[in-house]
Chain A
Amino acid sequence: MTPPVATPAGRSAGAFARAAWAAIALPFVAIVMALVVGALIILVSELLVTGRPFQPTLPLTAYQALFVGAFGSFDGLVATFVNAAPLVLGGLSVAIGFKAGLFNIGAQGQFLMGALGSVMAGVAVATWPPFLAIPIAVAAGLLAGAIMGFIPGILKALSGAHEVVTTIMLNYIAVGVLAALVSGPLKVPRSPSPVTYDVGNAAYPIILGRDGHLGILVALAGVAIIWWLLYRTTWGFEIRTVGANPEAARYAGMHPRAVIAFTMTLCGMLAGLAGTGVLLGVSHSMTSSFGTTVGFDSIAVALLARSNPVGIIFAAILFGAMRAGAGLMQIQAQIPVELVDVVQATILLFLVASPVLRALFRLRGVQTELGSTDTITRTYGGEAVR
């Protein structure tokens, strides 16, 4: 033990900076590397595919448009927040699964069912006063999402069917159910294309700028509630213990099966709430092709934030900004919006290869693990949970 040399205040500031760097160094390096790879992909695909004159600065033009589109104006900033809100809730859904050693790839299906539930209830109460209509529509979305989460949860608890397979299957089932209902019983009669009625008074009120709806606040509240649940309640403690070691949790008198079923239900509610937000806040009615990339972006958000509820806000704003700016990028640089998917996936690739990144950039004392994910693979064979 060496005695402290600097003043206590200065030392703690230094320690804080070091801790902050340890937490964000890898995501930061991964994001920068992914942008570099994205630039290379733009250049190579320009050279080989499009036949336009070669512009070496095209990636810079594209990224500039992406940034201006997302942060360059008040409306752009609001669009970034609106895009980030469902990603926050979806990211929480995937993250809380990770905490319990579950991999919820089903956020997409739960998102769709949440939206479907809220449009069904919302249309029914469309003429009621908002203070009644909104809670009813939100509750319906939560319920629909909860059911979609409960199914893989109870299947895993009872039979050991791994949630990675069952939730993906449920994603496709959700697409089918949604399309069948919207082009069948929910369709506006004599409408040329399959679309439901408007949710009317059940729509989220606008609280910020032109499009900033209540869902932004709902997402922030979600972060607070999940943080409190995970770190300040017995349920949260059980979730984290089961995620770290189901056997130990069982010997400590917990019931891993019940915790798994409960956690998946909670995952479903969160992703369902994300769908509710998009439906009540943005689209207000549903077409048979209703669907976004929220489900899979949520996985990226949770991994990038290392399942930390507060980190999820920043990760969601990053990906929300990419979605908000992609339109301007397509207009100004003629780069397809799918480039965002490529950059996002590359970020994840670098994160997973983090031991390599750490060695490459000599990042010492930096956290590399993605949270308690090894239980996911441990339960893969279907016999680990009892």
Chain B
Amino acid sequence: MDALVNALYAIPIVGLVFQFAGYLVAIIPPISPIILRGATPLALGGMCGVVSERSGVVNIGIEGTMLASAFTGWVVGVALAPVLGSTPIALFGITLPLLLALVASLLVALAVSYLHAWLSITVRADQIISGTIINIAAAGVTGYLNTLISKNSPTSAGSFALFTPPTALTNLPIVGWLFNMVLNQGPITMSMLVLVVITQVMLFRSRWGLRTRAVGEHPRAAETVGIDVIRLRYRNVLIGGLFAGLAGAYLSMEATNSFQANMTAGRGFIALAAMIVGRWTPVGALGAALLFATFQSLGQAIAFAPPGGELGVLMTAMPSQIYDALPYLVTIIVLAGVVGRSIAPAADGQPYERESAT
């Protein structure tokens, strides 16, 4: 077996590919909790896209929604922490200010999504332009307020803590690392996993899911059987907004405990790509998010455990900025390879005009 592996590794170029695959197999279990954390905002953002686009509303504004809610979560925490104190009240280091900040960040995400819903459903503006403007506006407003507030160098309300799973579980042979991956996480990452499963089941097994898909494929037909297309689209964009809000809250309240201007760094768009690659399904989006997150954490992995052999020489010689750009490159490649076979809902992006009663 070892002889076979060594023989494969020795082939020029192709050997590098095998070495890389071998390195991935070796490195993924130890860094799997990091990968899942990286996938959390991508999967949540992807789900925002799924519920919104399955009902026929394109949402490019995921990035802006995430940014707005990340900022709100941080700033409400900053405002409330001195007033309410910071004694943890339960698991995960949850404090009262953190909890209220989470609620506030979700409310702001709802408000931003409502704006997108109003522009694209009621005003019937171009949905991609509307989403882009939400992105620009969110970056502008949060950047402006952040500069104003950061002058006083405020202290944040901290962040949600990781759960420490019992070592009896994580030390199990073969499957132990999976427990570690899923359980050594904060509350938002864990709820993301639950939400993906719930949304998947609801989308394909519930009345709401059937109606959503009907409206996304053929709104006229859906309306003739009595479905309120406009209301359902509003509702779905708002539900999507909650997911994007959770993704933003994750960035400023679980992954870090602070806010930086433009901290979403394109994650809203990678989330869109994850949704497309995942064929507009929640579980598919999570899978694609995990793929992108793996490449996101590769830079970290190489810093802490570089591979051996010529692959190691090659990979450590690359400047670190290349690893920062890697997830974006992988997104383009995967998107270009998959998109032709991944079919969008038929009415995606088309504003709906109700048939007049007369």
Q: Which residues of A are at the interface with B, using a C-beta cutoff of 8 A?
A: 41, 45, 49-50, 103, 105, 151, 155, 158-162, 164-166, 168-173, 175-177, 179-180, 183-184, 296, 299-300, 303, 336, 338-339, 341-342, 344-346, 348-349, 352-353, 355-356, 370, 373-374, 376-378, 380-383
Contacts A50-B148, A352-B126, A382-B344 given; does A161 touch B339 at CB 8 Å? yes
Interface segment out of the listed B173-181, B240-248, B307-315, B318-326: B318-326
Interface segment out of the listed B1-9, B30-38, B132-140, B190-198: B132-140
- Whether B136 and A383, one on each chain, are in contact in the complex, defined by CB atoms closer than 8 angstroms, is no
- Whether A342 and B141, one on each chain, are in contact in the complex, defined by CB atoms closer than 8 angstroms, is yes
Contacts A373-B126, A381-B343 given; does A345 touch B325 at CB 8 Å? no
| Bound Cα distance from A370 to B126, whole angstroms | 9
Interface size class of B (residues with CB under 8 A): 35 or more
By a CB distance below 8 angstroms, the chain A residues around B149 are: 49
CB 8 Å contact bits of B334-353 with A (1 = contact, 0 = none):
01110110111110111000
Which residue from B132, B343, B350 sits with its C-beta under 8 Å from A105?
B132
Give the residues from 253 to 281 in chain B that come closer than 8 angstroms, CB to CB, to chain A: 265-266, 269-270, 272-273, 276
Which residue, of A160, A164, A172, A378, has the highest number of chain B Cβ atoms within 10 A?
A: A172
By a CB distance below 8 angstroms, the chain B residues around A353 are: 119, 123, 125
Interface of A is mostly: helix
By a CB distance below 8 angstroms, the chain B residues around A175 are: 324-325
Q: Does B297 contact A (CB under 8 A)?
A: no
- Whether B145 and A45, one on each chain, are in contact in the complex, defined by CB atoms closer than 8 angstroms, is yes
- Whether A172 and B325, one on each chain, are in contact in the complex, defined by CB atoms closer than 8 angstroms, is yes
CB 8 Å contact bits of B137-175 with A (1 = contact, 0 = none):
101110111011101000000000000000000000000
| A374 CB to nearest B CB, Å | 6
By a CB distance below 8 angstroms, the chain B residues around A356 are: 123
Contacts A155-B332, A180-B319, A377-B126 given; does A344 touch B140 at CB 8 Å? yes
| Bound Cα distance from A49 to B345, whole angstroms | 44
Which residue from A151, A180, A183, A377 sits with its C-beta under 8 Å from B128?
A377
Q: Does B106 contact A (CB under 8 A)?
A: no
| Bound Cα distance from A17 to B265, whole angstroms | 45
- Whether B141 and A345, one on each chain, are in contact in the complex, defined by CB atoms closer than 8 angstroms, is yes
Which residue from B321, B331, B337 sits with its C-beta under 8 Å from A183?
B321
- Whether B128 and A103, one on each chain, are in contact in the complex, defined by CB atoms closer than 8 angstroms, is yes
- Whether B329 and A345, one on each chain, are in contact in the complex, defined by CB atoms closer than 8 angstroms, is no
Q: Does B212 contact A (CB under 8 A)?
A: no
- Whether A300 and B266, one on each chain, are in contact in the complex, defined by CB atoms closer than 8 angstroms, is no
Q: Does B14 contact A (CB under 8 A)?
A: no
Q: List 30 A-B contacts (CB under 8 A).
A: A151-B332, A160-B339, A161-B339, A164-B60, A164-B269, A165-B273, A166-B336, A169-B329, A169-B332, A170-B332, A173-B325, A176-B321, A177-B322, A179-B324, A336-B144, A338-B147, A341-B143, A342-B140, A348-B137, A349-B137, A352-B130, A370-B126, A373-B128, A374-B126, A377-B128, A377-B349, A378-B350, A380-B58, A381-B344, A381-B349
- Whether B269 and A169, one on each chain, are in contact in the complex, defined by CB atoms closer than 8 angstroms, is yes
Which residue from A41, A177, A300 sits with its C-beta under 8 Å from B136?
A300
- Whether B144 and A338, one on each chain, are in contact in the complex, defined by CB atoms closer than 8 angstroms, is yes
| Extra contacts besides A166-B336, A169-B329 (4): CB < 8 Å | A103-B128, A299-B132, A341-B141, A353-B125
| A29 CB to nearest B CB, Å | 16
By a CB distance below 8 angstroms, the chain B residues around A338 are: 140, 143-144, 147
- Whether A352 and B123, one on each chain, are in contact in the complex, defined by CB atoms closer than 8 angstroms, is yes
By a CB distance below 8 angstroms, the chain B residues around A158 are: 336
Contacts A342-B144, A348-B136, A355-B123 given; does A377 touch B269 at CB 8 Å? no
- Whether A341 and B136, one on each chain, are in contact in the complex, defined by CB atoms closer than 8 angstroms, is yes
By a CB distance below 8 angstroms, the chain B residues around A348 are: 133, 136-137
Chain A's closest residue to B139 (CB) is A341
